[in-house]
Structure 1
Amino acid sequence: MKKDNSWFLLFLVLGGMLQVQAQQTVLTREEAIARALESNYGIRISTNEVEIAENNKSIRNSGYLPSLSARAGTSYDLNDRLTEPDGEESVEQKGIENMFYNGSLDLNYLLFDGLGRLYNYRSLKEQYNLSQLEARETIENTILQLFSVYFEIARLSENIDVLEETLEISQERVTRAGYMFEYGQTNNLAVLNARVDVNNDSINLLEARQRLFNTKRDLNVLLDRDVSRQDYRVDTTVTFLPRLSLDALVEEAEVNNVRLLQSEKAITISEYDIRIRRSGYLPSVGLTGSYGWNRNESAATAFFPGSTTTTSGLSAGLNLSWDIFDGGRTSVQVQNARIINESQELLKEQISLEVKRDIANALGTYENKLYIFHVQEENVKTNLDNFNRTEEQYKLGQVTSIEFRQAQINLLNARTSLNLAKYDAKLAELEVLRLSGQLLNVEF
């Protein structure tokens, strides 16, 4: 009776947990994506990088605007002076004070710099576009990571349902074996075996629940929520895209794949860099302008009275600078820029080949996972039919408890394998969408 009471308490605990689960809200996929886009740390950091690139491409960072600076100063002189005229008496003065004040506004504007400024400005715009693609890649990888955790929660939730049903059947078997033992229809060994199976099923259920709790914590981290939050469940429905639609998306991979788009931007930037380096061969022309004000207060001397002089005025100038020969520095920079551009072209070819391979592998993996999923569906049907028949025969005493337990385990394994195959196939489909550049454009 002590053991029966312990099992009764266990079922009270499990029943309470089930009741809590029934009151949980559903975290939909759309809500999870929206939360990730808003709060995920990796996405927020990539968004900041885009903002920095946007600031860099501003006209204020291009060198096209003039610079205006203001300067002001003052100085004070205190001197002793001894004047010794020829044939005359020396004159000594102490504490002669002189004050100087000045101020100016200086304008500088680069009229022409060999077009380096123009191509640098265009390069900054392309770097901004590249940063957007890098942010998109971060978002795609985060969404894929999000759904790998989201679907793991869904898989564990469905496995828990299966394990709960298995535990319930095992508990009924303990009760049935107890009645049969009381009426002398079986020995005590059957009761003990049934209780061992209940113990094993209970342990499996508790371990599955703990894995579910841990995985929910992983999802909370991705969504920047309270790590200990468990008051939610996820959507366990899964649908797959039609094959024709998927094939059409794969055909457009070369246009939409984010790695290929990034390589194209890198080539464009390297081409601008060549032109920027070439600008060193050409002269630069600058315009300067200034408004100045000066005041000089001089103390009286032995021969001249004190005076105050104030001047102000405008000045403007045009200057030309041309490094006719800079020791070959510009030539080396141009050569290196061309080599970098060639490397970027080679890298694009490599990435293009890798993307084709990755898509072919991902599509093959998806087809294989989808086939396994359909096979597992048939396997569950077969094992369910076998279990139902075995259960009927067990109740009639035509099969042993060991045979019944084996049929129960086979059904459990088939159903958990089906859950695994279902979500594996869906994740494989999402990988195909990511590689084809359509992960953010397709509802799933």
Structure 2
Amino acid sequence: MHDPDHRLPRSRWLAGLAVSALMMASAAKAETLQGALAKAYENNPTLTAARAGQRANDENVPIEKSFGLPSIGTSTDYTENIVIPGNSFSSPARSVSAGAQLSVPIYQGGAVRNAVRAAKYRVEAGQADLRATEASVFAQVVGAYMDVLRDMAIVQLNQNNVSVLRTNLQATSDRFEIGDLTRTDVAQSEARLALAEGDLRTAEANLIASREAYIRLVGEAPVDLQPPPPLPNLPATAEDAVAIALANNPDIEAANQLVNASRADIGTAKASRAPKLSATLGGGYNNFLGSLSSGVPGVGVSQETSSAAAGVSLTIPVFQGGRPSAQVRQAQSRSSQAIETYVATERDVIAQTRGAYAAWQANERVIAATQQAVSANALSLEGVRAENSVGTRSILDILNAEQEYLNTQVQLVSAKRNSYVAAFSVLAAMGKAEARDLGIEGGPLYDPAANYARVKGQIWDWADDPAPQQQATDTRNVAAADASVPEGTNPLIGPVDPALQQ
């Protein structure tokens, strides 16, 4: 297990995401990937809930510390004796009493010390979990951002395909009218157009779903999404990625801190059979409010009494029915569980890192191959149309060539999306896809250590926080997503060759 304090330097490797204020002002309605990440960082409820959960986790440290601090208690009683026995000549009719007691734990067998240590380790584990949550949310935002771009491109490609097939059908019908083609050619064109319109409806539904997913994560509708920037500092090999992940992945750090906490829990359990020493100081005051009588006429008695006492209490457990040893064995077994969980987490991170790296590399090769296929199918479609004009190719050949051209375009768009998302997943697995790495703009980053520093030494009983308020924005007023696609070139596809739109 690695030392959690030994980490590789973290560079702000997404400097390419930064957009100057002038550019942002000139394109106020355009949305960049950095802007989407910043909005999610500020408003995503998964993140805001995780921060609140970590603040609750911070409070375990002062809670455990309180068991080793002095405690002071007071009490006040007023008694009215409604019925006084007939032979109790000196019983008071009423009284008021007050008392105070100070209790100071001196030795608790190490229970408090180990409980505080365990709580501190769990705070560090929680902070690592918060980092992991940030990376997870950011990965989802990147995926949603790219899904919208991909599905917009697919809708555009399908719209163009429907337009082309309608033109084909009209031309085929015209040629059928003059006897140049048969009814079969017209039927084939009609069938392909109907299928293309169905594919377009499916693509539009997918686009709506992707936009709604984006709204759920970011809190706003995606508007004029800009091309995603390159992801710098990607590892050269899978082993490089794994080495960085083993040193920086927040899941591994959290699991390591939980191992440390479980070991401290063993010390807490062992303290249950150790002697315990505490000191007490108490005092009391009684006032009978003039109702106390001596029982002898003419003889008065004091109506007030006071007392004070100090002492030391030593408790030595002798026999507890085997409970202490059971608690120790239980803590030891949970420590073993934490150790094995650490190993499992490390395995998962290694597998995820290698898998994401392999997916990224595979999609890069798919992009290169599919780009060649798109170019080849474009030439093929142009050639088939030319050959059809001289009667050496059929209408079905044109329809097939158009479908193959569309299919490779869709595959290319999907591969570009998959490659970018997989590359970001590699960075996330390496522990380099968190807010402090991404150069999030718009305000100071949330620092969980600041809240811990604020509360860890708090001993005042009335230091409450303000009433909880909703932090994340809701989306009830965000308009429902539609399948409209703005005019212009999609970042994932270049301009369509006008010659292929005939």
Superposition TM-score, scaled by structure 2 size:
0.72
Tell me whether 1:115 sits opposite 2:115 in the alignment. Answer: no
Q: State the SS of the aligned residue for 1:323.
A: coil
Compare 183-192 and 104-113 and name the one that shifted more.
Answer: 183-192
Work out the CA distance in 2 between the residues paired with 1:115 and 1:379: 71
Work out the CA distance in 2 between the residues paired with 1:79 and 1:58: 49
Shift of 1:298: 0.9
Matching residue of 1:33: 37
Structure 2: gaps (5+ residues): 1-26, 440-502
Q: State the SS of the aligned residue for 1:285.
A: strand
Tell me whether 1:407 sits opposite 2:401 in the alignment. Answer: yes
Shift of 1:443: 5.1
2:357 to 363, 366, 373: 363
Alignment CA distance shift 1:350-1:292 (3 Å): same
Matching residue of 1:164: 159
Shift of 1:51: 0.9
Alignment CA distance shift 1:419-1:149 (3 Å): same
Matching residue of 1:338: 332
Matching residue of 2:57: 53
Q: State the SS of the aligned residue for 2:86.
A: strand
Matching residue of 1:269: 261
Shift of 1:69: 1.2
Work out the CA distance in 2 between the residues paired with 1:195 and 1:129: 65
Q: Matches of residues 81-160 of structure 1 in structure 2 within 5 Å?
A: 81=86, 98-160=93-155
Matching residue of 2:477: none
Matching residue of 2:470: none
Work out the CA distance in 1 between the residues paired with 2:393 and 2:76: 105
Shift of 1:212: 0.9
Tell me whether 1:320 sits opposite 2:314 in the alignment. Answer: yes
1:259 to 247, 251, 260: 251
Alignment CA distance shift 1:238-1:396 (3 Å): farther
* Superimposed CA distance per residue, residues 26-77 of structure 1 (whole angstroms, 9 cap, x where no aligned partner): 4322222222223333222222210101122237853233211110112223
The alignment-based identity, stated in percent, is 17
Tell me whether 1:71 sits opposite 2:62 in the alignment. Answer: no
Contact 1:292 1:313 in 2 (8 A): yes
Shift of 1:382: 1.1
Work out the CA distance in 2 between the residues paired with 1:278 and 1:212: 59
Q: State the SS of the aligned residue for 1:58.
A: helix
* Superimposed CA distance per residue, residues 333-379 of structure 1 (whole angstroms, 9 cap, x where no aligned partner): 22332232233223323333343333333322332222122211111
Work out the CA distance in 2 between the residues paired with 1:210 and 1:33: 25
Alignment CA distance shift 1:320-1:97 (3 Å): closer
Shift of 1:180: 3.8
Compare 156-165 and 397-406 and name the one that shifted more.
Answer: 397-406
Shift of 1:313: 5.0
Matching residue of 1:16: none
Alignment CA distance shift 1:51-1:414 (3 Å): same
Q: State the SS of the aligned residue for 1:367.
A: helix
Compare 117-126 and 138-147 and name the one that shifted more.
Answer: 138-147
Work out the CA distance in 2 between the residues paired with 1:287 and 1:97: 34
Tell me whether 1:219 sits opposite 2:214 in the alignment. Answer: yes
* Superimposed CA distance per residue, residues 52-104 of structure 1 (whole angstroms, 9 cap, x where no aligned partner): 01122237853233211110112223425359xxxxxxxxx8x9752222112
Work out the CA distance in 1 between the residues paired with 2:383 and 2:437: 44
1:418 to 390, 412, 418: 412
Amino acid at match of 2:250: V
Contact 1:177 1:194 in 2 (8 A): yes
Tell me whether 1:428 sits opposite 2:422 in the alignment. Answer: yes
Shift of 1:156: 1.0
Contact 2:64 2:112 in 1 (8 A): no
Structure 1: gaps (5+ residues): 1-22, 84-92
Amino acid at match of 2:223: Y
Work out the CA distance in 1 between the residues paired with 2:155 and 2:200: 6
Tell me whether 1:198 sits opposite 2:203 in the alignment. Answer: no
Tell me whether 1:347 sits opposite 2:341 in the alignment. Answer: yes
* Superimposed CA distance per residue, residues 386-406 of structure 1 (whole angstroms, 9 cap, x where no aligned partner): 122223333455422211111
Q: State the SS of the aligned residue for 2:378.
A: helix
Alignment CA distance shift 1:175-1:267 (3 Å): same
Work out the CA distance in 2 between the residues paired with 1:358 and 1:217: 27
Contact 1:105 1:292 in 2 (8 A): yes
Work out the CA distance in 2 between the residues paired with 1:242 and 1:71: 66
* Superimposed CA distance per residue, residues 287-322 of structure 1 (whole angstroms, 9 cap, x where no aligned partner): 222232211331463556454421235433222222
Work out the CA distance in 2 between the residues paired with 1:188 and 1:346: 71
Work out the CA distance in 2 between the residues paired with 1:52 and 1:276: 21
Q: State the SS of the aligned residue for 1:138.
A: helix
Which structure: greater helix fraction? Answer: 1
Contact 1:98 1:299 in 2 (8 A): no
Shift of 1:184: 5.1
Amino acid at match of 2:116: Y
Tell me whether 1:293 sits opposite 2:285 in the alignment. Answer: yes
Higher-Rg structure is: 1
Q: Matches of residues 297-312 of structure 1 in structure 2 within 5 Å?
A: 297-299=291-293, 301=295, 305-312=299-306
Work out the CA distance in 2 between the residues paired with 1:200 and 1:24: 39
CA RMSD of aligned residues (A): 3.1
1:234 to 217, 225, 246: 225
Work out the CA distance in 2 between the residues paired with 1:379 and 1:206: 26
Contact 1:24 1:233 in 2 (8 A): no
Work out the CA distance in 2 between the residues paired with 1:314 and 1:302: 29
Contact 1:41 1:224 in 2 (8 A): no
Work out the CA distance in 2 between the residues paired with 1:249 and 1:442: 16
Shift of 1:224: 4.1
Work out the CA distance in 1 between the residues paired with 2:353 and 2:52: 31
Work out the CA distance in 2 between the residues paired with 1:128 and 1:404: 65
Shift of 1:216: 1.3
Shift of 1:436: 2.3
Alignment CA distance shift 1:424-1:186 (3 Å): same
Work out the CA distance in 1 between the residues paired with 2:202 and 2:390: 34
Superposition TM-score, scaled by structure 1 size:
0.81
Q: State the SS of the aligned residue for 1:65.
A: coil
Number of equivalences? 408
